[in-house]
Structure 1
Amino acid sequence: MAVAEVQEMTSGLLRLGKKKIKIIYLMLLLSFAILLSAGIFMFFYVTGTTPYIGYLLPVFSPALPQYQYSILGEGDQALLKPMDVAVVDDRIYITDTLNSQVQVFKPTGEPVLSFGGSGREPGKFSFPYGIDVAPNGNIFVADMYNGNISIFDDYGRFLNYFAAAEDAVVDPGGLLIKDGLLYVCNLNPGSVLVFDINSEELINTIGSEGTGEGELMFPNDLTFGPDGNLYVSDTGNNRIQVYDPQGSFIKTLPIDGGDIYSPRGVGFDSHGRLHVVSKMNNQIAIFDSNWKKVGDVGDTVFNMPNGIAMDQRTRRVYVTDHISTLVFQ
C-alpha cells in the first residue's frame, strides 16, 4: 500500500474519531441538561415555590386540588351546617353545628362515632364551632354560644371544660393546638388567646378589637405557615394578618379585595401555598409564597364553605360547607 493511501486512511480515521468525540460530548451535555432540569423541577415542586421568566411567565407550578367526593353523613346523622374540620391520621373530625354534635368519619366517609347533643350541661353543645385534636387524642371543641371549650377523649366521652377558671374564653371560634399551646380565635371581642394546654393558663393575647394593623374583627381561623409565623383569618376586616410566634404583628397580606370575600378557614398545603376559604365567593383562593394568586377552586360545588383542614400525608384538602364536607386532592 502506498504511503499516500496510508496517510489518507489515517486522516480519515482521525476525522471519524473527532466526530464521535463531538457526538459523545454533545450527548453528555444533553444528559447533564436533562438531569439539571429534572432537579430544578423537583426542587420547585417539593418546596412549592414558583420561578418566573422575566417575572412574568410561571415555569413550574403544582396542580390545583380537584374536587373528589363529599362526606354527607347518613340518615338522621346527615351533616347540617358543619362549621369546622380537623384531620388526624385516618380520622376526620367535623363539628356538625346545627345538629349540636361532633361526627367522626373515616376518609372514605364511613361514620366512626358521634357525640354531643343540644344543651348547656357538660358534654352538650349550643353551637359547636372550632375543633382540634391534641397529641394524646383528646378532642377540643369550641362552643360559640355556650362560651366554652369542651374536652373529650377519643371515644367522645366528656372530660372537662378547658380553662374554665380563667374566665377568658367568651366567644370561641377556630382552634389550633401546636407545641403544647392552644390557640383560640375569640370572635368577640376580636383577639387570639394563647393557653398552655397542660396548665390551662392564659399566657398571651394576640391582637385586639379594631380595624387597624394587628387589630382583629371576628377572627375565624388561624394556622402556622412554613415560615413559622401565625396567619389569622380576620373575617370582619376581610383580610389575612400575620404575626410572629410571640404574637407581634408583622404585616397584612397584600391580597386584592376581589380575591377573598369573608375569609374563613386558612391552611397551607405541602407546597407552601396558602389556601383561604372565601365564604361569600363560594371558593378557595390559593396563593403562592409571594402572595400571588395562583387560582381558585370549588366555586361550582360549594354552598357557603367555612372550615378547612390539610392532610399533609395524603395531600387531601377537607372543606366544610352548609351540608357536607368536600374532599379535594
Structure 2
Amino acid sequence: MYRRLLCVAAALLVTSCVKPGSDRGAERNWPSSPNPTRIVWTGAAANAEDLHIGTGLVSSLWRMVTGGGEETIVRPYGIHADCRKRVLVVDSQKRGVHLFDRELKRYFFISGGEESVFNLPIGVTEDENNMAYVTDAGAGKVYRFSLSDRRLVQFTDGLQRPTGIVFNPLNKLLYVTDTLAAQVVVFDRQGKEVRRIGRSGHGRGEFNLPTDIAVDIEGKLYVTDPLNARIQIFSKDGVFLDSFGEAGDTPGFFGKAKGIAVNSEGHIYVCDALYDRVQVFDSKGRLLITFGSTGSGKGEFWMPSGIAIDKDDNIYIADTFNKRFQLFGYVWLD
C-alpha cells in the first residue's frame, strides 16, 4: 500500500510544455505494471508560465519593477531545488541562471547585466545561508549570489574547467569537479582551497574527465566519471570508498553518465545522456529501476544532463535539447 506520494499534488500544478500528440504511448509511471509504481511523471516547464508564475497582474507588475522578464529556457544543464520551493536552472546558451520561486510566484534571470558575467555556466548549488554558487566552465571560475538580492560576485578562479558543484552541509564545504584537471577541488565558503581529490587515470580514485557531483545525507560524495563509465564514491574528506559501473548500452551500464543525485533512502540517480534515460541504483551500485526514453513527450528526454532531488524526494531533470526541465514524484511504499 502506498504510504505517500510526495508533493505530487503540488507538482501537478505544472503545465506540460510538450508538443501536442508527442507523448502518445509514453509511460508516465515506472516501472510498468504489474510492478508497484515508484516513479511518477508530474510535469514539465520551459518558462515561468508553465509553473504558473507571473500569470497574474501583481506578478507581472513585480517583474516589471524588478527588471525580471519572461525568459524561456534554451540550453539547461545544472539544476538545483531547495526547501523553499525554488528551482534554479543554469542556461548555458543564455549564459545565466533561471530562478523560479514557486512559493512567492516570482521569476528572475541572473546573468550580471545585459552583457552577461558568465562565459559558459554549467553547475549550480546552494548553501544553508541562502547563497547560490555557479560554475563557469568557460572562464575557469565559480560565482556566487545571494538568493535575496541576486547580485553576482566572483567566488574563486584559477580552475581549468569547473563543471559540477555541490555544498556539503555536514562540513560546510563546497566541492567542484574540475573536468580538465581530473580532480575534485574543495573550498571553504570564503573561497579558500582546502584540498584536491583524485588525479587523471583509470584506477581507484582516479578520473577521466569527471563532470557532475552529488552528496548524500551522510556527507559521502558521488562523482560521475563518464569516460571511465563509472560512478566513484568518496568520504567527505576525500577518501576513496567504492565505485560501480561499466560501459554498455543495456540497463545497469553507462553510455555517458552526466547528472547525479542521491535521495533520502540513499538511492543514486544517474542521467545517461547518450541513451536518454535515468538509472537508479542502491547504495551498493545495484540497479533498481530505469525511467525515461528518447523523445519530447511526457517522461521522454533529449540529452538529460542535470538532476536535483529536493528534501521530499521530488525529482527535477534538465532535459537539455528539449529546452525544459521535467518533474517526477517518488512513491514511498509501506
Question: Do both share a fold (TM > 0.5)?
Answer: yes
Question: Which residue number corresponds to residue 248 of structure 1?
Answer: 239
Tell me whether 1:317 sits opposite 2:315 in the alignment: yes
The structure carrying a bigger strand percent of its residues is 2
Question: Which residue number corresponds to residue 327 of structure 2?
Answer: 327
Q: Under a length normalisation based on structure 1, what TM-score does the superposition of the two structures give?
A: 0.73
The Cα shift of 1:228 comes to: 3.9
- Superimposed CA distance per residue, residues 194-229 of structure 1 (whole angstroms, 9 cap, x where no aligned partner): 01113x221110011222221112211112235542
Tell me whether 1:162 sits opposite 2:155 in the alignment: yes
How do 1:176-195 and structure 2 match up within 5 A? Answer: 176-178=166-168, 179-195=171-187
The Cα shift of 1:317 comes to: 0.1
The structure carrying a bigger helix percent of its residues is 1
The Cα shift of 1:290 comes to: 3.5
Q: Under a length normalisation based on structure 2, what TM-score does the superposition of the two structures give?
A: 0.72
The Cα shift of 1:136 comes to: 1.5
The one-letter amino acid paired with 2:200 is E
Secondary structure of 2:293's aligned partner? coil
- Change in Cα spacing, 1:250 to 1:193, as seen in structure 2 (3 Å) is same
Of the three residues 60, 78, 82, the one matched with 1:84 is 78
In the alignment of these two chains, the number of paired residues is 265
Question: Which residue number corresponds to residue 285 of structure 1?
Answer: 279
* Residue pair 2:214, 2:261 contacting (<8 A) in 1 also: yes
Distance 2:36 2:282 in 1: 10
CA RMSD of aligned residues (A): 2.6
Distance 1:210 1:183 in 2: 20
Once the two structures are overlaid, the 10-residue window that deviates more, 73-82 or 260-269, is 73-82
Gaps of 5+ in 1: 1-37, 43-60
Secondary structure of 1:140's aligned partner? strand
Distance 2:44 2:106 in 1: 13
Secondary structure of 1:277's aligned partner? strand
The Cα shift of 1:272 comes to: 1.9
- Superimposed CA distance per residue, residues 161-188 of structure 1 (whole angstroms, 9 cap, x where no aligned partner): 1134xx3x22110111113211001011
Tell me whether 1:93 sits opposite 2:88 in the alignment: yes
Gaps of 5+ in 2: 4-34, 50-69, 295-299, 330-334
* Residue pair 1:99, 1:117 contacting (<8 A) in 2 also: no
Tell me whether 1:220 sits opposite 2:211 in the alignment: yes
How do 1:77-156 and structure 2 match up within 5 A? Answer: 77-88=71-82, 89-107=84-102, 112-116=107-111, 124-155=117-148
- Change in Cα spacing, 1:230 to 1:73, as seen in structure 2 (3 Å) is same
The one-letter amino acid paired with 1:184 is V
Distance 1:107 1:318 in 2: 14
Question: Which residue number corresponds to residue 23 of structure 1?
Answer: none
Higher relative contact order (CA 8 A, sep 6+): 2
* Residue pair 1:209, 1:217 contacting (<8 A) in 2 also: yes
- Superimposed CA distance per residue, residues 129-168 of structure 1 (whole angstroms, 9 cap, x where no aligned partner): 010112221221111101111111214533421134xx3x
Distance 1:192 1:79 in 2: 29
What is the percentage of aligned positions where both structures have the same residue?
26
Which one has the largest radius of gyration?
Answer: 1
Distance 1:264 1:93 in 2: 18
- Change in Cα spacing, 1:228 to 1:256, as seen in structure 2 (3 Å) is farther
